[in-house]
Amino acid sequence: MQTLLTLGLVVLGPVLAVATFLAMGPFNQDAGSPFLRLILLSDLVYVLVIAALVMVRVSRLIADRRSRSAGSRLHMRLSGVFMLVALVPTVLVAVFAVLSINIGLEGWFSDRVRSVVGASLSAAEAYEVVQRDDLAEDAGTLAGYLNRAKSQAFVLRDDQLRPLLSQAQSVIQRGLKEAYLVDGTGALKTRGERSYLFGFEDLSDDQLRAAREGNTVLIPDWEDDEFRALIRLEAFTDRYVAPGRSACRGSRTRRGRRS
């Protein structure tokens, strides 16, 4: 019976360790999960049982040593040797881990790395500003092109603006990925070249209100890696143009993958 209990404790240790790792790692159990609570309770009971058995062994060893029973001195020395054999590698691994992590963190947060990260952040922010300014300028150019076309024609329907949008996209030097024509409610009226219906994003009331007041509204869309603009067409009645450009030119956005 004692042998079976010993083997059961030896096998139960790795089983509980793997179960605890799965519950707190891949299974991603929260603090209120009954499964995680059961595992932690089993770990606590296991540790208490092992500690109680160790205390019984130690007390028995001390009692034999005091009574000077046969082999008690050798038993004490062997226990001390096995304790050193178990503790020395553990201490060395712990010290090595602490020193390596400390040195690694110091190297990561050193002045040289900090300066490189700061320079990268500054370059990214400057690139974002350039992209915003370029898109605002191109949106104004596109709006001016459409306003001039309207002033030269007595009647210009929404469907007649599609070739003008496509032509303006190719004329603008930096190029526009997409261009849409919407009304004051945000409803799509027509679209330019490579401006797909599934790529059209709904406009909010605040964005339409800001454009109605004469502002060039810039809309960053980090999820799809692009910038969009919204500007009111002065020569039209309740019409707005919404061009867009990829934030990182040459990159394939998620919409591009869907198409």
Q: Tens digit of pLDDT for each residue in 188-234?
A: 888 888 788 888 888 889 999 998 888 889 888 877 778 888 999 88
Q: Residue 208: name the closest of 187, 236, 178, 237 by CA.
A: 187
Whole-structure pTM value: 0.50
Q: How far apart are CA 147 and CA 145, in angstroms?
A: 6
188 — phi, psi (to 5°)?
Answer: -75, 130
Site of tokens 């869309």: 221
Q: pLDDT for 133-165, tens place per residue?
A: 888 888 888 888 888 888 887 777 877 788 888
For residues 210 and 65, what is the distance between their CA atoms, to the nearest angstrom? 89
Whole-number Å distance between alpha carbons of 240 and 115: 44
Give the helix ranges, DSSP H, for the chain. Answer: 2-24, 34-66, 72-108, 111-152, 161-171, 205-212, 254-258
Question: Domain coordinates of the chain in residue numbers?
Answer: 2-69, 134-258
**pLDDT tens digits for range 45-96:** 999 998 998 888 888 878 877 777 767 677 778 878 888 888 898 899 888 8
Q: Which residue type does 119 have?
A: A
CATH code for the structural domain at 134-258? 3.40.1840.10
Q: Is 154 helix (H, G, I), strand (E, B) or coil?
A: coil
Helix (H, G, I), strand (E, B) or coil at 213: coil
The tokens for 203 are: 């406009």
Parallel/antiparallel/unpaired status of strands 217-221 and 188-191: unpaired
